[in-house]
Structure 1
Amino acid sequence: MRNPANVMEAHGNTCCFSEASFNRLQVMMKDRVMPESSHLFWEGDTADKLFYIKRGRVKVTKTTDEGKELILYMYQSGDLVGQADPFFGTKHSFSAEVLEDSDIGVIDHTDLELLICQHCDFAIDFMKWMGSHHRITQTKFRDLMMYGKPGALCSTLIRLCNTYGEPHGDHILIHKKITHTDLSNMIGATRESVNRMLSDLRKKNAVEYDNGMIVVKDLEMLQSVCHCELCPREICRI
């Protein structure tokens, strides 16, 4: 089992930026306070900004025509959120909801373009951030599509450990309350299916609950179910 001491809060996705590059980005930010349940953007809005989470949490979701929600990402302090590609001016293909009162830095794409044109080192760091973000997306879809719902659930629990985990004796406590509905929306399953799979994992002594929070007791078992490739923590995150 991986040492729980190493399974702590994941680094923000801006770790791809050097200190100089990140300082340039900070200068361009416009501060905004966003209340809980508000939205940074909605699906279909023009994608002309990036958002840096100084404090708080944001979930990015995709909704089907039938109203089913799929949680694509759960962002926290230190993360950069938004749709950035070579074709600025496209539409957002997902929505971003604020989960708790948050302090957000807003970066206009026009300012971002200026930084990319003026500073080659910033352009390289920005490409690293985009590459890292694409890899996170690719590994999530791999887990969802290749190893069934049990594999997707186990992968999600591992990602939650890397993002919100803290030592709990010899085990790992996920110190955010994650509901069965949240888990079902993360893996595209029904809540009843998640209930059954978690019950099975509890019977196998792989997970338990402590005051409503999930405790992972056998990380190696979860890794075996989802054929874990031991990706770096900055990639293996929720």
Structure 2
Amino acid sequence: MDDDIVRRAPLFTALDEEAAATLRQSMTEVSLGRAEELFAEGDQGDRLYVIVEGKVKLGRTSSDGRENLLAVLGPGEMFGELSLFDPGPRNATATSVGDTVLIGLGHEDLNPLLMAHPEVAQVLLQALARRLRRTNDSLADLVFSDVPGRVAKALLDLSTRFGRPADDGVLVAHELTQEELAQLVGASRETVNKALADFASRGWLRLEARAVVLMDVERLRRRAR
């Protein structure tokens, strides 16, 4: 397990080495294979998770069976914060994208942690505030942005977490299917594919299998506005 990645997680950044090591010992490690469900929407939840290796997608399903992908998270990111403060039904389904390793903190371990390190409460509140801000931004995008703009923004967002330098740009190995990418931006697969094809024809990106190379990041940023 990469301890550097664990220490970068917001839950650990407020702690010194000794306190972080103590917290790590109280957390449970979970390993998932590709496309394995960690928990489902509606399941009782009382645990926060930090991703150590791999990726996790969070999604919801409507009453008529339509699916929406809320987020794709990678190493160092955490999710399930709400269940620490308010154990109850999960509001999303968490599924591994590839082989994934996580560590989980249960609700019963939270109070002793906050009593000993109250600064952790501020970190968790900041994480919840970021989550709320992101939700508000997503709602605004659905109202005010067209599909190509949302696609550009989603690719840029994925690149900040999963991108790495390539010879001709930034390689983003998102590991998502075309349908999942469409769910992430709240549009049909056909409309998203049309936007991607347009970007590719302009030389802004190159499509690969479950990946994309961003070749003109500045143009994509302008399109995302």
In the superposition, the TM-score normalised over structure 1's length comes to: 0.80
Query: Between Structure 1 and Structure 2, how many residues are aligned?
Result: 218
Paired letter, 1:127: L
Q: Which of 151, 160, 163 is 2:161 aligned to? A: 163
Give identity over the alignment, percent.
25
Paired position in structure 2 for 1:216: 214
Q: Deviations over 1:87-113 (max 9, x none)?
A: 512211111012223222121112113
Structure with higher helix content:
2
1:59 CA displacement: 0.7
1:185 CA displacement: 1.1
Q: Deviations over 1:48-67 (max 9, x none)?
A: 11112222221110111222
Give distance in 2, aligned partners of 1:154 and 1:16: 32
For structure 2, the residue ranges without an aligned partner over 5 or more in a row are 1-6
1:141 aligns to 2:134 (yes or no):
no
Paired position in structure 1 for 2:10: 14
The answer (yes or no) to whether the contact 1:29–1:106 under 8 Å persists in 2 is yes
Give distance in 1, aligned partners of 2:8 and 2:182: 25
Give distance in 2, aligned partners of 1:206 and 1:138: 28
1:80 aligns to 2:62 (yes or no):
no
Paired position in structure 2 for 1:115: 113
In the superposition, the TM-score normalised over structure 2's length comes to: 0.84
1:193 CA displacement: 0.7
Paired position in structure 2 for 1:31: 29
Paired letter, 2:158: L
1:41 CA displacement: 1.2
Give distance in 1, aligned partners of 2:102 and 2:141: 31
SS at 1:93 equivalent: coil
Paired letter, 2:75: S
Q: Deviations over 1:64-95 (max 9, x none)?
A: 12222111111222221214168512211111
SS at 2:89 equivalent: coil
1:178 CA displacement: 3.5
Q: Deviations over 1:7-54 (max 9, x none)?
A: xxxx96527732426445323202222333322211111221111222
The answer (yes or no) to whether the contact 1:177–1:214 under 8 Å persists in 2 is no
The answer (yes or no) to whether the contact 1:59–1:99 under 8 Å persists in 2 is yes
SS at 1:156 equivalent: helix
Give distance in 2, aligned partners of 1:100 and 1:177: 8
Give distance in 2, aligned partners of 1:56 and 1:157: 18
The structure showing larger relative contact order (alpha-carbon pairs under 8 Å, at least 6 residues apart) is: 1
| RMSD, aligned CA | 2.6
Give distance in 2, aligned partners of 1:177 and 1:31: 23
